[in-house]
Copies of this chain bind each other. A is one copy, B any other.
Amino acid sequence: MGAVVGALFVGVDGGGTSTRCVVAAESGEILGRGRAGGANAVSVRDPSANLLAALLAALGGLDRSRVAGGVFGLAGAAQARALAERAWSEAELPGRPRVVPDMLVAFTGTTDAADGTVLVAGTGAVGARVRSRRIVRRADGFGWLFGDEGSGVWLGRRAVAAALTALDGRGAPTALIGPVAAALLGEAGDPEDVPALVAAAYDRIAEAGPAWLGTLAPAVDAAARRGDQVARDIVREAARRLGRTARVVGEPDGTGEERGPLVLAGSLLTEPTELARLVRAELGPRTTSLPAGDGAAGAAALALRAALPPGDPRAGEGHRALIGRTFADRPERRADDGRG
């Protein structure tokens, strides 16, 4: 290690729908930003091309030989490492990047604390314990059939079931029938044609994949906010389950680390949803929760820290500068972040 003056650090946050990249100096100053399509190896046709496009956009005219490290935050697909290394070498960058779970860069993009918890609720849902900026424990993240409790897909599947159950007389009437039927049959369809709704639901998932169910989540949240009891019960149950996921991973495991903050990530928890409000209520006032910041900056912070000797004060300074810059863009979040 040693002097890193003049060195550049690359951070990439590759999500399901977009990939973001930052290039930072050792000071934490962001010198370039790039953005491209999604990088999920399961759902995106050419994730490596999107990783490369985000990298090239962020590098711009910067001298690539100065790049001293890079970190990619990617969802846990087995192919993630190969995809990242391919994009890195095609961008003609020196050395090899580190690949970490996207949950970790969500955490390090939000706080400079070494220990804490991250709870994600977007298309999927998962919780993780972070110790010394590594994921040491997980809960849920079991996917659309067996888990992801409280996620967008979880909410959407329950919305379809609740609409059908109301229509056949087993369940209470609900305002969810309208938006579910519109999503499945279009505005011209008969919202009470149960066989057509059932067939359309299976067809839609076969065509568009299970993530399609997550597109119904905003309608569930809106119906709950408007007081629909069935939707309220679904969203409350989602909040209870997400709260359980966060609690299970949220406690220190006796190895001396701090409890640390809880980072709330994923669109359902970073947007001002009813679900986010209920999750915070579920976790109680003793939990310091922060809406997730910029995962690409968090990845760059990990790259910068890895290049410095343990205890070097420039690590924390650079990290805080990187994510502070992000927070400065969204001052309304500053009061929440609890940093000194």
Residues in B whose Cβ lies below 8 Å from that of A281: none
- Is A33 among interface residues, defined by CB-CB distance under 8 A? no
Give the complex CA separation of A169 and B245 in angstroms.
9
A130 sits at the interface (CB 8 A) = no
Give the complex CA separation of A145 and B153 in angstroms.
Answer: 12
Interface size class of A (residues with CB under 8 A): 20 to 34
CB atoms of B147 and A164 under 8 A apart: yes
Asked if A286 is at the interface of the complex by the 8 Å CB criterion, the answer is: no
Of B142, B165, B170, B205, which contacts A145 at CB under 8 A?
B205
Would B139 and A169 count as touching, CB distance under 8 A?
Answer: yes
List 29 A-B residue pairs with CB atoms under 8 Å apart, sorted by A's residue number.
A138-B168, A139-B168, A139-B169, A139-B170, A140-B165, A140-B168, A140-B170, A142-B161, A142-B164, A142-B198, A143-B198, A143-B202, A145-B157, A145-B160, A145-B201, A145-B202, A145-B205, A146-B157, A146-B160, A146-B161, A146-B164, A146-B201, A147-B161, A147-B164, A147-B165, A169-B248, A170-B244, A170-B245, A170-B248
Kindly report how many copies of this chain are found in the complex they form together. 2
Taking CB atoms, residues of chain B closer than 8 Å to A146 are 157, 160-161, 164, 198, 201
In the bound assembly, the distance between CA atoms of A146 and B213 in angstroms comes to 11
- In angstroms, Cα B148 to Cα A165, docked, is 11
Q: How far is the CB of A53 from chain B (nearest CB, A)?
A: 30
